[in-house]
């Protein structure tokens, strides 16, 4: 059996407890710093910057930006709720799905998609656009 760490020795609990020198303010500041770093990382995402610039140059940009924002909220909330309520119940009782296995499956899926794009599978399957007539020289 492992010896208890200093944070669990006083309470005899298996859960994490803060040390006496670490107050609630330190944890809140750390959480806010993490949220700000993630917000900065998302704010420089090229897709969002490009779509924002495109929508600002179109008629009625406020309406289009609002629709983009609400669509993003709806999509993110839907995915989050599905993961929280559906996948959690399915995967909670099994030990087959682990983080390394999920990472391997995602990596293999991305490699498969990259190979399909590289050999132009989707272009060969779909209809080809009509070729434009070459200009004739007089």
Query: How buried is residue 52: exposed, middle or buried, by Cβ count under 10 Å (0-12/13-18/19+)?
Result: middle
Model's pTM, two decimal places?
Answer: 0.42
From residue 89, alpha-carbon distances to 75, 84, 94, 132 in Å are 21, 8, 10, 55
**pLDDT per position in the chain (138 positions), as tens?**
455 444 444 545 455 555 656 556 677 788 888 888 888 887 788 888 888 888 889 888 899 999 988 998 898 899 888 888 887 777 666 777 777 888 898 899 999 988 988 887 766 666 666 666 677 776
Whether 8 and 14 have beta carbons less than 8 Å apart is answered as: yes
Is residue 55 within 8 Å of residue 46, measured between CB atoms?
A: no
> What letter does residue 94 receive in the DSSP assignment?
-
Q: Which residues contact 119 (CB under 8 A, 6 or more apart)?
A: none
- Residues making up the chain, counted from first to last: 138
Are 17 and 11 in contact, with CB atoms under 8 Å apart? yes
């Amino acid at each position: 059996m492992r010896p208890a760490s200093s944070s669990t020795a006083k309470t005899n609990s298996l859960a994490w407890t803060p040390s006496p020198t670490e107050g609630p303010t330190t944890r809140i500041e750390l959480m806010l710093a993490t949220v700000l770093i993630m917000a900065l990382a998302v704010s420089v995402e090229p897709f969002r910057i490009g779509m924002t610039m495109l929508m600002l140059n179109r008629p009625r940009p406020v309406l289009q930006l609002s629709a983009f924002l609400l669509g993003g909220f709806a999509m993110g909330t839907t995915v989050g709720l599905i993961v929280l309520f559906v996948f959690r119940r399915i995967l909670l009782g099994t030990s087959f799905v682990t983080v390394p296995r999920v990472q391997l499956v995602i990596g293999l899926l991305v490699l498969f998609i990259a190979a399909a794009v590289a050999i132009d599978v989707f272009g060969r399957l779909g209809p080809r656009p009509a070729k434009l007539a070459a200009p004739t020289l007089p």
